[in-house]
Structure 1
Amino acid sequence: MDDTRNETPLERADRNFAELLQELRVLQTGVQILFAFLLTLAFTPRFPSLDSVQRGIYVVTLLLAVCAAMLLIAPAAVHRVLFGRGVKRLIVEVSARLAGCGMSLLALAFTGSVLLIGDVVVGRAAGFAVAGGVLAGCVGLWAAMPWRLRRRSARRW
């Protein structure tokens, strides 16, 4: 924990929430683009030719994107309802958990969309291989690397 900022607990909570909102802005763009892509996909000429597995992947991926969007937007609703009640730290804690869950579902939605496109374009086996790489990349960059950096920084301080 960094106590060199000389801030009150309320100032720290305000700063943490502002930083979380910046993170959510980045995530929201990704989920919006993915969701828009998935919504339009169902209206393309090739969509009716998808087999039942591909349609299943599509529906699951669409639902994952919707759920990710809901989780990433939820901190705004939490803040709106609890604003001015003196519970900023609670807002930050709950919002951070919602964002983490939203990122997890966004990683799965990215994976599903790549799986679907890979399946259609290069075949099912290759689609699964590429999707596995996407999931590994998300887990590595969004979870494993930050956790490793957190452990490393804890040893230094």
Structure 2
Amino acid sequence: MTGRGETEHQRLTRNVNELLGELRVAQAGVQILFGFLLAVVFTPMFAEAGLLVKALHLAAVLLAVLATALLSAPATWHRVLFRKGLRREILAEGNRMVLAGLACLAAALTVTVSLIGYVVFGLVALIVLAVLVSACFTYLWVVAPRRLQRIKQDPPAGNRP
């Protein structure tokens, strides 16, 4: 039994279900981005775009495809392997894939926003937006959770026993 009063099997089942639920949220973002990126290619303006715009667009598309593959893999693994007693392995590998998929999603969004900045305002906007968007993702997805973890592990001096 764990601290929640559940068996190891129940905990693993709950954790896998939580992982799959989190994937639903991330998948929606990737699908919207991918649809937007696909639609852009078929516009007259894109046909006249320069090499940099087309290269950045393709990079964003490839990152969105990789994010889709990584974020959908844990659900596929679960479907294929769930009766094989491999929940622990599905959870461990799924966690790695989700983190990699989220990194690809952040990169795809950063490239897309930067590309829009470039088309509208030029190279300086591309650079500024790339820095700002990547800093936003880095802070919200990496720095803030680590700060919270440190605070929980190291309570203020007044709250120590």
TM-score, normalization by structure 1: 0.93
Q: Who is 1:103 aligned against? A: 102
Equivalent residue runs for 1:3-152 within 5 Å: 3-152=2-151
How many residues align? The count is 154
Q: Conserved in 2, the CA contact under 8 Å of 1:65 and 1:109?
A: yes
The CA deviation at 1:142 is 1.1
Cα deviations by residue, 1:89-135 (Å, 9 ceiling, x for unpaired): 11111111100000000000000101111100011111220121111
* Cα distance between partner residues in 2 of 1:76 and 1:121: 38
Inter-partner Cα distance in structure 2 for 1:150 and 1:26: 23
Q: Which has the larger radius of gyration?
A: 2
Q: Which runs of 4+ in 1 moved over 3 A?
A: none
Identity of aligned residues (%): 44
Unaligned runs of 5+ in 1: none
State the Cα distance separating 1:15 from its structure 2 match: 1.0
RMSD of aligned alpha carbons: 1.2
Runs (5+) with no aligned partner, structure 2 = 156-161
Structure 1 residues 64-100: Cα deviation after superposition (integer angstroms, max 9, x where no partner)? 0000010000001111221111111111111111000
